[in-house]
Amino acid sequence: MLSLTYFPLSPPLTTTPTPTLSPPPPLLLRLHHRTVSRLLCSTAQNVAIDDVVGGRVEEDDVVRLPAGMRREAMPEHVAVIMDGNRRWARTRGLPAVAGYEAGLRALKGMVQLCCRWGIRVLTVFAFSSDNWLRPKVRFLTVRIRLSVNFVEVGFLMRLLERGMKGEVNNFMRDNIRFSCIGDPSKLPDPVKELITYAEERTKHNSGLQLIVAVSYSGKYDIVQACQSIALKVKDGVIEPEDINEFLIEQELQTNCAEIPNPDLLIRTSGELRVSNFLLWQLAYTELYFTRSHWPDFGETEFLMALRSFQQRQRRYGEGDS
């Protein structure tokens, strides 16, 4: 059950006149534009998603948390399965591409919120290796009534390429380190080159680490880790008897992050499965499933996920003792 706490919006005001004019109490400013839902989920320390998308995240804003959020209980690594782009577009009578475009905007907002709230790692599932099997789709746009054939996967790749091109400078500006995991062998050459360029250029950034899973699957990650270990054993780097789960963990692709295992997994669009994403890494991850489609997942939904995470009891399988 949701527990609510009242957070006073301003310190108590006294009737004693002050000798000089002081700035109006923040209460007045807040009352102008806060809605009831915002009152529930945030205070003036919050910044609406519209305020942060495309805007620079200032250094002194990083530590600001929404009211009621405990710094010590914030997840350090958040993973997201960005599901529901196509359904979001379908419900609005739009082509699937519009859903993906909206999904990209939602991701930008999410990245900025993570920067602002001091989350260290954000891993997003952009494209599953199973998605390569998606067939050619045929859609009919509502407005122009024109039937067009296109390869959806091709569009996703172009979107990825375009998104990467536009975002590298923003990553540098916001001190974001970009990493990509997955099987690069199937990706188009321009995308591969852009990924390498973005990773190289941002590798010294110390802020949020954004990991994008492209052509990725949890099983692929485990297989490549086992292959890597087998080669190391063959080369005499490690002994066969040293092969254990911790060694495998070190060879997983998420090991590019300081915190490889997510604390919180968010899956949008109401599905209750992990869909071959970070299978190994999710052993003790708190799972949060929400009905919102990914393009609708904004600040309020993210806050709800974080509140739910902070209310849960985490033991990492250790037991209470």
Residues in 28-47 at the binding interface with another protein, rule: CB under 8 A:
28, 31, 36, 39-40
The helix (H) or strand (E) run that includes residue 193 is: helix 189-202
**CA–centroid distance for 51 within its chain:** 18
> Least distance in Å: CB of 85 to another protein?
14
Tokens of 266: 């968010």
Q: Catalytic annotation on 83?
A: yes
Contact status: 240 vs another protein (CB under 8 A): yes
> Which one of 98-106, 156-164, 179-187, 279-287 is the stretch in contact with another protein (CB under 8 A)?
279-287
Cα gap 129→216, rounded to integer Å: 5
Contacting another protein within 285-314 (CB under 8 A): 285-288, 312-314
Q: Return the ∠ at Cα 293 (arms to 290 and 310), rounded to 5°.
A: 30
| Best CA proximity match to 68, nearest among 48, 39, 109 | 39
Do the Cβ atoms of 264 and 3 come closer than 8 Å?
A: no
For position 205 contacting another protein by CB under 8 A, the verdict is no
DSSP H stretches of helix in 66-188? 85-91, 96-116, 152-173
Q: Of these residues, 50, 61, 83, 296, which one is catalytic?
A: 83
171 with 210: CB under 8 angstroms?
yes
Measured from the CB atom, the residue of 274 and 304 that comes closer to another protein is 274
CB of 60 vs another protein, minimal distance in Å: 26
Among positions 259-278, residues that touch another protein (CB under 8 A) are: 272-276
Please identify which residue in 91, 219, 250, 258 interacts with another protein, judged by CB under 8 A: 219
The piece of 61-69, 168-176, 200-208, 232-240 that touches another protein (CB under 8 A) is: 232-240
Is 24 one of the binding residues for another protein (CB under 8 A)?
Answer: yes
| One-letter amino acid of 288 | Y
Active-site amino acid positions: 83
